[in-house]
Amino acid sequence: QKNCRLDHVAKALLLKGPLSLAALSVTMWATGSIVCALTAFALARLGTLLLFDARGVKGMDAPEDRLQLTIRSEDFWAILKTTFPLGLALMLGSLYQNIPRYFIASVYSMRELGIFSGVFSLVMAGNVLIAAVGQSSLVRLATAYRKGDVTEYRSLLLKIIGFAGLIGVLGMLVAGIGGRQLLTILFRPEYGKDVGLFVWIMAAGTTGYVASLMGYSMTAARCFWPQIFLLLATSASSVLGCFLLIPRQGLRGAAMAIFMATLVYITGGGFVLRLLVTRRSIEKHVLVRGAEKAGLAA
């Protein structure tokens, strides 16, 4: 990713996915043991790492033909300092999306939880595409922000957010027009009884897609800790929404709660991104003025 070799990343994913699935399925069929199946799954991924990934990165950064593992305390603490808030952000991001499921499980039966989780899995399928867009844009966003190219950073930010919104709106249209038939084909007839639930879930997915790419953009600008506070506010909004809406609206209330929570993130994230762009513009202006004065003095 650092070397913009996302073609290699794509090939690795295309190789890892089918191999892992085949290892899991065949071992589960042959042994009937989930432990053996998960072991085979892990070995398939490890094999991809050692035989494909490790060979692919040779010569990209290090002049040596082989990877060398070196452990230095200063590097360890630097990495830990950077990744700790990112880890917290990932944890909180997973939490606020799963809070509605905890409420559904406490109020209703496992049947309703299964229906909600099944329909919501279609949103998670879209997240794969959104994650690909975010990962492929991350280096360009980071490079533009580091160089102070605010125009490029803002332009790319608007493009990826617009793409996320477009994907979400298309999903809502599909849900509204052919949601009953689609859910019946993918799952069972009872899943397609409430098309409104599907539409609300896709609406929550739309705001979630936009929020996700805003998170990538903040990460590219090395803005880590504000994301933690945004996600804490988002999680609190999800709890409040679930508490108020699920007893009254049922499963639709859970989707509405996620929609409201992600709107909180988008609102706060938009404010943070605007501050980042403004600050970077000022910093670049100061540097340019300083260089001009230095040139005149020379």
If pLDDT is split at 50, 70 and 90, which confidence band does 61 have?
A: low
Question: 295 pLDDT exceeds 80?
Answer: no
Using alpha carbons, select from 131, 185, 191 the residue that is nearest to residue 163.
131
**Least confident among 145-149, 164-168, 216-220, 292-296:** 292-296
Q: CB–CB of 255/203 below 8 Å?
A: yes
Question: 108 pLDDT exceeds 60?
Answer: yes
The residues, any chain, with a CB within 8 Å of residue 218's CB and separated by 6 or more, are: 224, 226, 227, 269, 272, 273, 276
pLDDT of residue 296: 53
Structure tokens at 9: 């990343």
pLDDT of residue 65: 47
pLDDT of residue 97: 87
Tell me the pLDDT tens digit for each residue of 205-264.
999 999 999 999 999 999 999 999 999 999 999 999 999 999 999 999 999 999 999 999
Compute the distance between CA of residue 130 and CA of residue 124 in angstroms, rounded to an integer.
10
**Helix 225-249 and helix 251-297, axial crossing angle in degrees, nearest 10:** 160
Looking at residues 33-50, what average pLDDT do you find?
A: 93
Question: 292 pLDDT exceeds 70?
Answer: no
pLDDT of residue 293: 60
pLDDT of residue 167: 94
Tell me the pLDDT tens digit for each residue of 164-216.
999 999 999 999 999 999 999 989 888 888 889 999 999 999 999 999 999 99
Alpha-carbon dihedral sign for residues 204, 207, 210, 213? negative
Compute the distance between CA of residue 219 and CA of residue 248 in angstroms, rounded to an integer.
37
Question: 298 pLDDT exceeds 60?
Answer: no
Half-sphere exposure of 53 (CA within 13 A, CB side): 15
Structure-model confidence comparison of residues 285 and 150, the more confident one: 150
**Least confident among 57-71, 82-96, 151-165, 170-184:** 57-71
